[in-house]
Structure 1
Amino acid sequence: MQPDVYLLILGDHLPDPRTGRTVSQRDRLHAMCAQAVVAEESGFTGVAIGEHHFTRYIVSAPELMLATIAARTSTLRLSTGVTLLPHRDPVRVAEELATLDVLCDGRAELVVARGVSPATDEAFGIQHDDLRPRFDEYLRLLLQLLTETNVTWHGWFRTPLENVTTTPRPIQVPHPPVWIGSGSAISSDLAAELGMPLMLPSTLRSPDAYVDVVTRYRDRLSAPGRVALPSHVYVAPDNARDRWRPYLSAYAAFADPLRGDGQPVDVDRLMNGSAVCGDPHEVADRLNALQSLLGLDAHLVLIDVGGLPPDDVLAAIRLFGEQVIPKLTA
């Protein structure tokens, strides 16, 4: 049995470090949609698209991207990666997820998380001390709205609901898969309590950092759960490290304040830890080792980083699908 494999797209909008050229935002967004189409052709299970605001990650409305991809694909699972739930109205999230699920004939998924940017919290008027309880409250309401009709609800962070049924209703029963995205013990405990799958963070930290969290999550589950890990990945027939190094370096310098471990960026350390790079055999072996370490049910593969040229991204997606996915084990 093989694990599920999703193409993760966070949408950083950085110049190519070799040429200094930056593509337009229009071309960047269209390129992401094209990547998803090629991922389906290459045997990926799904695509997951991140949400960010006010940064050089330029996807702020992943659901719209996913709806565009839905019209161009037929089998690909369509997920956010992640939805910043504390910054959203859970009623609207339920409506948008169900609408996507209907339009794509039951292929929609959702990953919810608190987010990693204090500046975004501030811009949306969210106090830091409210972030975790707001996430907890909104998640429980979201699940109720997706599974029940005629919902009456009272909470702390939004106005009450009286006899509300969101429309449309999702195709998937009881609802489209909803993952919790987090690497913290508190959020993994919430995932276990609610019987939800756990998506680990797309960080630049060593995967070893999540062993205790995953163990804790599984120990607290009352039924089998699912765990997924994002990995920065580049695969090429030869010289993969040399080809990828300037792009990974550029991305790490940009992303480290949000996703790093507080240590100076060391690209060689990244390539031996959270970044998987090499020929197809080496990449498959590294991902299988991560599966053994964490008992993964799914991999999220983040290829498009640091201004990597679109043709190189598509070539890596195709090679990964052709020669890596068949070697992955669960």
Structure 2
Amino acid sequence: MRFGIFYEHQLPRPWGAGAELRLYQDALDQVELADRLGFDYVWEVEHHFLEEYSHSAAPEVFLAAASQRTVNMRLGHGIVQLPPQVNHPARVAERIATLDLVSGGRVDFGTGEASSAAELGGFGVRRDRKRDMWQDSIDAVTRMFVEEPFAGWQSPYIRMPPRNVIPKPVQKPHPPLWVACSRRETIHLAARNGIGALSFAFVHPEDAGKWVDDYYRLIASEECVPAGFAVNANLAVVLPMMCHEDPEVARERGSLGAGFFAYALGHYYGPSKHAPGTGSIWDDFAAKSPKLGVRGDDPLAGALGSPEQLVELVRRYEAVGVDQMIFVLQAGPNRHEHICESLELFGKKVLPIFAEGRDQREQAKAERLAPAVEAALARREPARRLATPYVIDEDAEVAPTIRSRARGVFGRIVEGRTDAQLERWFGPGQQRVLFALMARQFDPAKAFGFKGEIEFRLGRGSVWTIQVRGDKARAVQGSARNAAVILELPAADVLRLIAGVANPAALLMSGKLKITGDPAFASRVPEMFGAPSPY
């Protein structure tokens, strides 16, 4: 059995000055204490717009701070929301890998879809597509961890060209994967994807045992096709916790927080209507809940008690095969000092009982599952490798228009031709057409009030000038009377620039491109005449 602590960062109204600051600073103090006491995990949720219930919109920031105040605890994203409207897969991969680096390889990557109306509607995620989005995104993200470069993605939800997504995580092939589970069918989903199940259903040990049996049966079956490139066979349950030598004191201190946790959860995930910024879930809870807490037979009350009661409870979950118990102490109005006292007492009287022989039991479990894991990974499609190197093409990637496709064709024609071949083709007639088209595409908004002349010297006596007057431009053959800037480069390289197979910075460094006048203004010239902005 492993042990973790879990944070929603709950903050019931009314909110006083500095309330969120204290909430976060207290949580970091609690995490540091839990690490010293021997807790194995800290789990941090990602939620948006769920005021009072969860003020945890940027878990990666909190976990990064926690990584610098802890030594041994693993840092669990419990969970990252994967619909692309909420988190683009590349940003998820980058953040997870960065956290893995700053923590020295201590990240567990929990994933989920989100299901509250506040979040789905806020980000424009369709409820009937969020499961497909999750499956699509987790496949893409895990490939970003292992593919160099990531070979790109084309799906109804994600469109991304090949890129090398960096940095890469410390843990290979990637941090352990988990998914949030609230029902039996999502436990099955976790097992079929070969990932850990984070159960937020608050179930009794006997019910949890049925889920464990289902989970490990599917992990060992042919239905298991891993979502990632490693299998994480673990099932965790979450419960509110408060520990005191006197169980009545523990219940008194923790019952209100557990009750609010359940009530606020039902508020956002049930039929209740919420008025952002004006409603008070705490007031509703206080008015509608006569006992302001939880009953003794409620699973939410199971971990509110003495150390001896908690030992007995943990043994029941351990006996049915649960791998990790995650405790919610920061809930509702629970007080910081009571949370710290509970952690201290649990760490002193409960944790040591379950530490003995744990490593050996986990090793035996890994050996028992090894054949099933190997068979499951053989069913997973491998990482991809590009047959030929991919070259970034902004036009084709961002705006696959007729113009960009034509430019791609032109690039293939120009690439590989010698200077002599290109200069023979790019004679006076073709130059006239080119500069006339440039003048026609002049964009006054990109000129920022410029009026004057720009001279182009193409070698072998070929000189062209574009004159800008007001919001119009025209091309004339010959030198400028008073050029604001003079750009001098071989005619062949003009074609290569147009085709996108030459780099202006490289031409400048090699001496092929010479600028007379203001270099900063010169850098804006292509954009003034229809080229995409480089910034």
TM value normalised by structure 1: 0.88
Map 1:1-330 onto structure 2 (within 5 A).
3-14=1-12, 24-55=19-50, 56=52, 57-86=54-83, 87-152=86-151, 153-162=153-162, 164-201=163-200, 203-204=201-202, 206=204, 210-222=208-220, 225-238=233-246, 239-258=249-268, 267-269=293-295, 272-275=298-301, 276-293=303-320, 295-328=321-354
Contact 1:271/1:277 (8 A) holds in 2: no
Q: Which amino acid aligns with 2:161?
A: L
After alignment, is 111-120 or 33-42 more displaced?
Answer: 111-120
Between the aligned partners of 2:210 and 2:17, the Cα distance in structure 1 is: 40
SS class of match (1:165): coil
SS class of match (1:269): coil
> How far did residue 100 of structure 1 move?
0.4
Contact 1:48/1:81 (8 A) holds in 2: yes
Contact 1:235/1:316 (8 A) holds in 2: yes
Q: Would the alpha carbon gap of residues 190 and 240 (structure 1) be closer, same or farther in structure 2, given more than 3 Å must change?
A: closer
> How far did residue 49 of structure 1 move?
0.8
Q: Which amino acid aligns with 1:69?
A: A
Between the aligned partners of 1:120 and 1:207, the Cα distance in structure 2 is: 31
Contact 2:209/2:317 (8 A) holds in 1: no
Contact 2:28/2:66 (8 A) holds in 1: yes
Between the aligned partners of 2:114 and 2:36, the Cα distance in structure 1 is: 31
> How far did residue 129 of structure 1 move?
0.7
Which structure has the bigger radius of gyration? 2
Cα deviations by residue, 1:118-157 (Å, 9 ceiling, x for unpaired): 2210101101111111111111111111222222222210
SS class of match (2:350): helix
Contact 2:79/2:110 (8 A) holds in 1: yes
> How far did residue 207 of structure 1 move?
5.6
SS class of match (2:9): coil
Q: Which amino acid aligns with 1:10?
A: E
Count of aligned positions: 321
> How far did residue 215 of structure 1 move?
2.6
SS class of match (2:313): helix
Q: Which amino acid aligns with 1:181?
A: A
> How far did residue 284 of structure 1 move?
1.6
Between the aligned partners of 1:170 and 1:178, the Cα distance in structure 2 is: 13
Q: Which amino acid aligns with 2:108?
A: E
SS class of match (2:159): coil
Between the aligned partners of 1:81 and 1:210, the Cα distance in structure 2 is: 19
Q: Which amino acid aligns with 1:291?
A: E
Between the aligned partners of 2:161 and 2:9, the Cα distance in structure 1 is: 35
Structure 2 runs not aligned, ≥5 long: 221-230, 273-287, 359-535
Contact 1:183/1:213 (8 A) holds in 2: no
The alignment-based identity, stated in percent, is 23
Between the aligned partners of 2:252 and 2:338, the Cα distance in structure 1 is: 13
Between the aligned partners of 1:207 and 1:142, the Cα distance in structure 2 is: 34
TM value normalised by structure 2: 0.56
Q: Which amino acid aligns with 1:64?
A: V
Q: Would the alpha carbon gap of residues 23 and 312 (structure 1) be closer, same or farther in structure 2, given more than 3 Å must change?
A: farther
Between the aligned partners of 1:193 and 1:306, the Cα distance in structure 2 is: 35
Q: Which amino acid aligns with 1:324?
A: V
Cα deviations by residue, 1:205-238 (Å, 9 ceiling, x for unpaired): 5565555443322111138821111111110111
Contact 1:13/1:22 (8 A) holds in 2: no
Q: Which amino acid aligns with 1:148?
A: E
Structure 1 runs not aligned, ≥5 long: none
